Amino acid sequence: MSIKLFLDTFSEPLMTDREVALVLPSEAEIGLLAEDVEAARSYAERSLSPATRAAYRSDIAVFRNWCELRGVEPVPASPETVASFAAAQAGQGLKPSTISRKLAAIRMLHRAAGHEPPTSSEIVTATMRGIRREHGPAPSPEVSGDFRDHPRHAGAGRR
């Protein structure tokens, strides 16, 4: 599937026309039939839920803006750029799970553009480990000291 086909499944562009032009063969060049392209587009539209597409669109916009303010290219982004972005997001109080979703959006954007995702580099993964270690996972709900007190386990193990 061409990058343009996948990116067309988002209501707002994830990549600039310049970025798309770098990776797109024309449909004529690859000999695709219109109905095949439409079938692929239909499947691609269903590859992510509407909520995930909206979240990724927002996450990519945040990343692009952050990059623009610092004068760095968002695509392809260096691992150091992505690690710095993650650290900045943590500094703003975002939860590790939210930052991980933002990195997933950045990973998807790079893959769609035909670039190796910088999110899999050691500096990014180490930064995320540090963020999780520092900020920890979301607190879990309080649980009873004895699992047998839970209604599903009432009397379990007692004789």
- 27-38 burial code (b ≥16 CB/10 A, e <16): eeeeebeeeebe
pLDDT in tens, 53-95: 999 999 999 999 999 999 999 999 999 999 999 999 999 999 9
pLDDT in tens, 89-110: 999 999 999 999 999 999 999 9
0.85 cut: is pTM over it? no
Residues 6+ apart with CB under 8 A from 9: 41, 44, 45, 47, 48, 53
CA distance 94 to 131: 10
Domains of the chain: 3-135 (1.10.150.130)
